[in-house]
């Protein structure tokens, strides 16, 4: 490792170039999964003004407003060109690695570590930690999955706040300089709180950092952290209506501390013990990574997997305690052992930052790899510091072996990252991988079938959709999508049977308007216009503000030649969803077929403005300009 005693500038350049290189093969990968609802179909990001103070973007997602604002900025720059979104994600990931590198360099200058041997090898420890963070394939989901910029961006502000706090504590300059650092740390902390809820633990980690690396009376030190603690109140204050009666506030607390899940909190906690073991396994050996892990719910703390994971957790806590003791023991060797304080801090970081999503706040998806992005910072910090302490203990002869071993590990992890990113090349590839690794979970098979259907590979979509129905007989989407496959294949009776099965399972009273609308669209494809119109009328009676029903009904009228009625439905569509580019385009076509050239041109222009990359919209606008009194064909 002595060979790595180079200037930090070289480390920074190397980390940045390697990070960019590892994600080069994924820049053109498409939007997938939640990217559609959060970015592609999200009307709010079309207008940056939604994310100014008290805009619509805040009211919809108050604790993630800054993350969505970044998508809005991307949209203003390049519309829905996925490359620009991915470039930003990669840059955020690289910057996070550099912040980790900087944090280590600052930490070894603190009173606890400044005279230790770890301070002499700060660049080595910082480089190892940052390099592992950059190259580890477990972090690919937070970088490659576009919408998970919410995770990586929150991590960036989290790290930035801690770096600025450390610089403020160590600063010896003017009062203005110190005040600026403190204010910058507070601003970064507040920014983290409105990027994603995982930032809630930041004041806790700042307190841990203060206790680990600085000295002095706690009565004087801890008040310095109170303003940071106040920023954590942003999250609950944004989610709760405190002007309500106390009973309603308590009810709101119950609701906001679970995410689309009715799973009992203790059952979720027991299950998360097992998930914790899976996360650690992926850190140590990142094989069988998966976008959609299949995790069984455990309802007892005496289940063998839960007990085994609890033992692992206790072992981790014991190791943390041992590292703290080694760094605190009074002995002549204390300066040689002080580096273990970094190990203890890293492990504490892992446990604290994982607590938001892996304790008693039930989340509908039990395990997602991007949830390890922020906690992994602590793991890699502990690995860098612990690796150095072990090599130091073994002596100088072990340094060359340690260097060689690390180079091999880093190279292997880099290769695995590139290979993992290949899976994101298309939705079909991604869901094929997920379905193979979660064969008993319906959602990967369903999404694979939908992806194949979207590529007009109806025959291939049959098997995964049938599997999805078998695994989840009550799932509406399986029946509607398999029905759509049979429609494409011309198998009318089988299609109708599946569509009717979906209707029997659905209920407008329960809010299943999407299922009714999709089934109606498939009946229209089958040529059964009366049935399609009947279903759409039922949806509109129940939900007159549901734009998709008006849009599909407009298509039905247009296909049957009832152009005035089609215009009426398309106008209702854009009334409820002004940013619906397809509706504007189809409204323009209906106007053009009626000979209303001026109105048609206005609608085509709106469609082209909303989706400037769509060639059809631009082509229709060009045709309309030369249409005159001719007939639209």
**454-482 average pLDDT score:** 95
Question: Which percentage of the chain shows pLDDT scores above 90?
Answer: 72
pLDDT of residue 396: 66
pLDDT of residue 615: 86
**122-131 average pLDDT score:** 93
pLDDT of residue 4: 47
**269-277 average pLDDT score:** 95
- Give residue 254's pLDDT band: very low, low, confident or very high (50, 70, 90): low
pLDDT at 626 over 60: yes
pLDDT at 257 over 70: no
d(CA 296, CA 434): 16
CA 525 to chain centre: 36
- Give residue 630's pLDDT band: very low, low, confident or very high (50, 70, 90): low
| Contact between residue 212 and residue 113 where contact means Cβ atoms under 8 Å apart | no
pLDDT of residue 258: 63
d(CA 382, CA 404): 19
pLDDT of residue 510: 86
pLDDT of residue 68: 96
- Give residue 418's pLDDT band: very low, low, confident or very high (50, 70, 90): very high
| Contact between residue 301 and residue 274 where contact means Cβ atoms under 8 Å apart | no
Single pTM value for the model: 0.92
pLDDT at 219 over 50: yes
d(CA 445, CA 438): 9
| Contact between residue 494 and residue 517 where contact means Cβ atoms under 8 Å apart | no
**25-34 average pLDDT score:** 94
Among 83-87, 271-275, 391-395, 454-458, the range scoring the smallest mean pLDDT is: 391-395
CA 523 to chain centre: 36
pLDDT at 629 over 60: no
> For residue range 181-203, what is the model confidence (pLDDT) as tens digits?
999 999 999 999 999 999 999 99
Comparing 502 with 246, the larger pLDDT belongs to 502
Residues 6+ apart with CB under 8 A from 361: 257, 258, 259, 265, 268
- Give residue 393's pLDDT band: very low, low, confident or very high (50, 70, 90): confident
**434-461 average pLDDT score:** 96
Question: Which percentage of the chain shows pLDDT scores above 70?
Answer: 93
H/E stretch holding 145:
none
**407-418 average pLDDT score:** 96
d(CA 380, CA 104): 11
Averaged confidence pLDDT in the chain: 90
pLDDT of residue 622: 84
- Give residue 463's pLDDT band: very low, low, confident or very high (50, 70, 90): very high
> For residue range 347-364, what is the model confidence (pLDDT) as tens digits?
999 999 999 999 888 898
């Amino acid at each position: 490792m002595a060979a790595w005693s180079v200037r930090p500038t070289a480390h920074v350049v190397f980390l940045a170039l390697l990070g960019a290189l590892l994600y080069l093969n994924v820049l053109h990968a498409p939007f997938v999964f939640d990217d559609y609802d959060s970015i592609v179909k999200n009307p709010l990001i079309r207008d940056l003004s939604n994310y100014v103070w008290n805009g619509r973007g805040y009211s919809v997602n108050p604790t993630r407003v800054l993350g969505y604002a970044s998508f809005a900025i991307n949209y203003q720059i390049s519309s829905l060109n996925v490359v620009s979104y991915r470039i930003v994600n990669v840059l955020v990931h690289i910057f996070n690695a550099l912040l980790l590198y900087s944090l280590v360099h600052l930490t070894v200058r603190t009173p606890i570590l400044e005279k230790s041997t770890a301070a002499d090898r700060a660049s080595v420890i910082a480089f190892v930690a940052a390099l592992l963070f950059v190259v580890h394939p477990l972090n690919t989901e937070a970088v490659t999955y576009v919408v998970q910029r919410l995770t990586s961006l929150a991590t960036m502000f989290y790290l930035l706040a801690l770096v600025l706090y450390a610089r403020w504590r160590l600063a010896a300059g003017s009062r203005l300089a110190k005040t600026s650092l403190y204010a910058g740390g507070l601003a970064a902390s507040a920014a983290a709180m409105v990027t994603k809820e995982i930032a809630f633990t930041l004041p806790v980690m700042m307190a841990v950092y203060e206790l680990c690396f600085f000295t002095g009376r706690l009565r004087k030190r801890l008040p310095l952290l109170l303003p940071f603690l106040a920023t954590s109140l942003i999250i609950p204050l944004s989610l709760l209506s405190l002007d309500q009666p106390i009973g309603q506030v308590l009810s709101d607390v119950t609701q906001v501390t679970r995410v689309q899940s009715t799973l009992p909190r203790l059952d979720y906690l027991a299950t998360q013990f097992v998930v914790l073991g899976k996360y650690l396994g992926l850190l140590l050996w990142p094989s069988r990574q998966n976008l959609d892990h299949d995790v069984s719910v455990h309802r007892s703390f005496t289940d063998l997997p839960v007990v085994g994971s609890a033992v692992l957790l206790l072992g981790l806590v014991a190791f943390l305690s041992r590292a703290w003791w080694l760094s605190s023991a009074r002995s002549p060797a204390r300066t040689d052992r002080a580096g273990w304080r970094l190990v203890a801090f890293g492990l504490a970081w892992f446990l604290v930052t994982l607590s938001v999503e892996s304790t008693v706040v039930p989340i509908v998806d039990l395990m997602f790899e991007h949830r390890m992005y922020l906690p992994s910072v602590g793991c890699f910090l502990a690995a860098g510091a612990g690796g150095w302490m072990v090599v130091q203990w073994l002596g100088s002869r072990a340094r060359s072996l340690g260097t060689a071993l690390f180079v091999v590990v880093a190279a292997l992890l880099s290769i695995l990252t590139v290979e993992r990113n290949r899976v994101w090349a298309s939705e079909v590839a991604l869901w094929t991988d997920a379905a193979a690794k979660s064969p008993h979970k319906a959602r990967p098979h369903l999404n694979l079938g939908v992806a194949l259907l979207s590529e007009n590979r109806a025959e291939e979509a049959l098997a995964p959709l049938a599997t999805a129905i078998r695994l989840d007989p009550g799932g509406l989407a399986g029946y509607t999508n398999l029905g759509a496959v049979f429609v494409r294949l011309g198998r009318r009776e089988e299609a109708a049977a599946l569509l009717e099965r979906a209707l029997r399972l659905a209920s407008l009273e329960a809010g299943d308007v999407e299922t009714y609308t999709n089934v109606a669209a498939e009946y229209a494809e089958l040529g059964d216009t009366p049935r399609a119109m009947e279903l759409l009328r039922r949806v509109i009676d129940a939900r007159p503000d549901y734009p998709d029903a008006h849009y599909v009904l407009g298509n039905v009228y247009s296909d049957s030649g009832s152009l005035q009625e089609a215009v009426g439905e398309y106008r209702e569509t854009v009334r409820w969803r002004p940013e619906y580019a397809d509706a504007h385009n189809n409204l323009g076509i209906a106007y053009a077929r009626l000979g209303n050239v001026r109105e048609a041109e206005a609608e085509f222009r709106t469609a082209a403005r909303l989706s400037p990359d769509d060639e059809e919209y631009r082509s229709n606008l060009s045709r309309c300009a030369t249409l005159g009194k001719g007939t639209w064909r």
